[in-house]
Structure 1
Amino acid sequence: MSCCPQPLIFLLLAAAAAPRRPCGPLGLSRDTVLGRPGANITLRCWDEAPGNVTVSWRAEERGRSQRLPAGNALPLHRLRHEDAGTYSCFVGSQRLRSLRLLVQEPPETPRVSCYRRSHDHDVLCEWPLWAKPSPGTRAMLWVKQRFTAENATEQRCRFFSKAQKFVCRVKVPRGADDTKPFLVSTCVSNGAGGAAGEDKIITLNGVLRPDPPLNVTVTALEKAPQRLRVNWSYPSSWDHRFYWLRFQVRYRPEPAQTFSEVDQVTTTWLDIHDAWRGLRHVVQVRAQEEFGHGAWSEWSREAVGAPWTDPKDLASEMGFFSSQFPMEDGTYGLTLPPELFAEDGADGTGGPIMEASARSTASPYPFLVAGGSLLLGIALCIGIVLRYRQLWQMGGWQGAKPEGEGQHVLVPLGPPRPPLSDTPLLSLPRSPAPGGLHVTSLDYFFSGQ
């Protein structure tokens, strides 16, 4: 039969046989009386008092003295925490007995959580309380390596009234193994009883939980209406010269309640590419150890920012509103322009409102296109006129020049002319009609001479 090594068996048996540390009520002295809030108790000076003796009582707490009803037995009803103190009985001026009254409830069972803010910090174990503990309540924490018979180190825990929780600090020796398991035990006790927390097994890597990132800012990127730049910095408790963090960013547009998240961010900035135009966005960042050890930090404080908006678009949107009229609550708000509340025109068609709407929605681009088209048409017409003018001049020149000079002859539309040999080069001058110009003289003007 196979068997485990003897040293390992010894360690397992020692850990299993080690008795659980007792966690009971604090020891009370003989002259201490315990009462719970709301209960009724009776304090006695003597077990059997003489019949002819008058016993008086006096309550002393915080330097104050208060006379109480006389008698050997002092009944106290519906105890409160304020009733705790020292009660003394007297016969005349002689003090016979002093009793210490404690008004306490058994402590709450601790539910401990441990964390370490960075690799070079101690481990903090804490647990919250529903109610303030009774005076004299004591909380203790013990830490020892698992599967060893070594004595546990004992730590006294402090109560922080503002945070309403107990906090214990576990010293981590330099060079400690971050993967070695430790066993953590807790006990809270007072005069009314004791409560032990559940034992926890932790490792130094497993309890890493950084503080939230700091200085989270959201800025707009110029000419990018759907982008936001988020910047933040490492928490002051984390030394990023030796150890790094990875981050998670979440954001949402107002007033939406659902966040979008971006994981595995290793830088201290992020560009959001799907922001909503013109809306404010709420952004938060949290951190974790770069290799995923431990837990995520709490979310940082909310930072708010809106994407870049074109000033022209903003001016055109604000141009439809006026802030000259106060609201019902006394503040000045945005109101519609007075033109929209004017009565219809004389013809009943509502002309002024329609004209104002047309002016406000007219775009300059159709006018630019129409103007460009008109200029292009005019330039085309001028080109055609100049081209045909040259052709007309060339046609007149060919009618007066002889053949063989490299000119292209225009095809006549009328009946053919007689041969050049039968046509004189120059027409005989004739007396022009009064007030006119002879037609045959036009060849001279088109000849270019």
Structure 2
Amino acid sequence: MGGAYSCHDGTGQLLRAVSLRLGYSPGIPSVTCRASDYENFSCSWAPSVETFLPTRYITTYRKKLLLGAEKQRAQSSPVGPCVQDPARPRTCTVHKCEFWSAYRLNVTEVNPLGASFRLLDVTMQAIIKPDPPEGLVVEPVPAAPRRLWVRWQYPASWPKEPHFQLKFRLQYRPVAHGSWSMVETANLSEVITDAFSGLEHVVRVGAKDFLDAGNWSEWSAEARATPGPGLTSTPGDGATTDAGLQCPAEEPSLAPNPEPVDGSDPTEKVTVLVSLGVFAFFVLAVVLGAAVAAWIRRRKPHKEETKKPDFLAAAVHMRALPKAQIL
């Protein structure tokens, strides 16, 4: 039993005291894995039992094969080390992974009284979770009292490859308010069009794989800005305002088919309305033409319904005539 033990002489004087703490065999460790990009994944673990003994961990992985091939080539998938970093206790990393493959991780806890292990199947698409976006900047837009221009960058840990993009969600609110507004985008910048003039706003942004694999990242560090008052000009003073020239241009998006931020041009609206009107007129004309054709077709007698000549009536008529008229 654990506890404090002491030795005494015949007179009861204390000779020696020692505190005995018992050790235990390892339990099955708890393991979680995460991929911050599509090339590597890291795993961390925690012991399920406090053993009070010197403990070490053995971490390995094996690439999983298809069900049929796994039975035939069980030895063809080599075991590799999940590399442990002394600066990060109880973590290891598997490098140069294949994004569409699955892996089996083995974390074994060993101490003088025995060993225990945990097997964990890892699929890259399921565990991918990007790091938060970086370089978040929020600026007021001149001559636009309800607009804020927001821009950010990919996390440094995400490789710049055209086939693996990120999408983003932008959250913003006035500092004094508790509820967030949110916009999703594939761009690296966005214009907030419904900010409150004169109120300081707080903005943050998160990232996720563009094809919706895995999970959203943690939120980025927050940034703040206050929309400024709109610029006004009086007639005759020669002052003009061009919001298009003063609004900073958006950075080109790395994601495919970026959408425009604002398409509220009055000319475009009129063109769209005219096009819709022409289209509606064309559809109405086609429908009316089809209805008229169907009506005419119903009015036209069929060949079978044409009245046949009555030869018997003609014969009776000829018989009734005088012989002189018949001749």
Give yes or no for TM over 0.5. yes
Question: Kindly tell me: are residues 273 and 131 of structure 1, through their superposed partners in 2, closer, same or farther at Cα, counting changes over 3 Å?
Answer: farther
Compute the displacement of 1:130 (Å): 10
Please state if 1:256 is matched with 2:177.
yes
Identity percentage over the alignment?
26
Deviation at 1:108, TM superposition (A): 6.9
Residue in structure 2 matched with residue 143 of structure 1 by the alignment: 61
Query: Does 2:186 match 1:266?
Result: yes
Tell me which residue corresponds to 1:383: none
Q: Choose the corresponding residue for 2:101, options 174, 180, 183.
A: 180
> Could you say which residue in structure 1 is the equivalent of 2:275?
none
> What residue is the counterpart of 1:29 in the other structure?
none
Contact 1:140 1:157 in 2 (8 A): no
The match for 2:32 is: 113
1:158 Cα deviation from its structure 2 partner: 4.3
Alignment partner of 1:77 out of 19, 39, 64: 19
CA separation in 1, counterparts of 2:230 and 2:218?
36
For 1:124, what is the secondary structure of its paired residue?
Answer: strand
Q: Which of 84, 95, 108 does residue 171 from structure 1 map onto?
A: 95
Contact kept, 8 Å, 1:104 with 1:191, in 2: the verdict is: no
Q: In structure 2, how many angstroms separate the alpha carbons of the residues matched to 1:280 and 1:108?
A: 52
Pairwise CA distance, 1:187: 2.3
Runs of at least 5 residues in structure 1 that lack an aligned partner in the other structure: 1-34, 44-68, 80-102, 313-449
Indicate if the aligned counterparts of 1:155 and 1:169 stay in contact, CA closer than 8 A: yes
The aligned counterpart of 2:306 is none
How far has the Cα of 1:134 moved from its partner? Answer: 5.9
Is the contact made by 1:160 and 1:167 (CA closer than 8 Å) also made in structure 2?
A: no
How far apart in 2 are the matches of 1:299 and 1:247? 10
1:110/1:127 contact within 8 Å kept: yes
Flag the 1:112–1:246 CA change in 2: closer, same or farther, 3 A: same
**Partner residue, 1:291:** 211
Gaps of 5+ in 2: 8-13, 233-327
1:166 maps to amino acid? R
Matched-pair contact (CA < 8 Å) for 1:106–1:194: yes
The residue that corresponds to 1:304 in the other structure is: 224
Matched, 1:126 2:44: yes
Residue 278 of structure 1, aligned match among 198, 201, 225: 198
Amino acid at match of 1:204: M
- Cα deviation, 1:98-143, whole Å, max 9, x if unaligned, reads xxxxx75666753322222223x42211135799996732122232
d(CA) in 1 for partners of 2:43 and 2:103? 13
Do the aligned partners of 2:28 and 2:47 also contact (CA within 8 Å) in 1? no
C-alpha distance in 2, partners of 1:294/1:169?
18
Q: Tell me how far apart the structure 1 counterparts of residues 62 and 226 of structure 2 sit (CA, whole Å).
A: 52
Cα 1:129/1:224, change in 2 over 3 Å: farther
8 A Cα contact 1:284 1:300, kept in partner: yes
Question: Would the aligned equivalents of 1:105 and 1:134 in 2 still touch at CA under 8 Å?
Answer: yes
Contact 2:32–2:45 (Cα < 8 Å) also in 1: yes
Task: Supply the RMSD in Å over aligned alpha carbons.
Answer: 3.4
Q: Which amino acid aligns with 1:157?
A: Q
Taking the aligned partners of 1:108 and 1:257, their CA distance within structure 2 comes to 44
1:333-367, Cα deviation, whole Å (9 max, x unpaired): xxxxxxxxxxxxxxxxxxxxxxxxxxxxxxxxxxx
Q: Matched residue of 2:125: which SS?
A: coil
Per the alignment, residue 79 of structure 2 pairs with 152
For residues 196-254 of structure 1, the C-alpha deviation after alignment (integer angstroms, 9 at most, x for no partner) is 34x32222333322211111011101121211111101111222243321111111211
Structure 1 residue 206 corresponds to structure 2 residue 126: yes
Aligned equivalents of 1:128, 1:285: Cα separation in 2: 31
In the alignment, what sits opposite 1:246? 167
Q: Is the 8 A contact 1:139 1:189 kept in 2?
A: yes
In structure 2, what is the Cα distance between the partners aligned to 1:77 and 1:126? 33
- 1:25-64 residue pairs with structure 2 within 5 A? 39-40=3-4
Partner of 2:150 in structure 1?
230
Relative distance call for 1:201 and 1:277 in structure 2 (3 A) is same
Q: How do 1:416-435 residues align onto structure 2 when only pairs under 5 Å count?
A: none
CA distance in 2 between counterparts of 1:130 and 1:282 reads: 41
How far 1:185 sits from its partner (Å)?
A: 2.5
**Structure of greater Rg:** 1
Q: What code does the residue aligned with 1:272 have?
A: I
SS at match of 1:236: coil
Structure ranking higher on relative contact order (CA contacts 8 Å, 6+ apart): 2
- Please tell me whether the aligned partners of residues 139 and 158 of structure 1 are also in contact (alpha carbons under 8 angstroms): no
Q: CA separation in 1, counterparts of 2:58 and 2:176?
A: 47
Amino acid at match of 2:96: V
Secondary structure in 1 matching 2:197: coil
TM-score, normalization: structure 1?
Answer: 0.42
Matched residues in 2 for 1:133 and 1:303: separation?
45
Conserved in 1, the CA contact under 8 Å of 2:30 and 2:47? no
User: SS of 2:127's equivalent?
Assistant: coil
TM-score (norm 2): 0.56
In the alignment, is the contact (CA less than 8 A) between 1:145 and 1:181 conserved in 2? yes
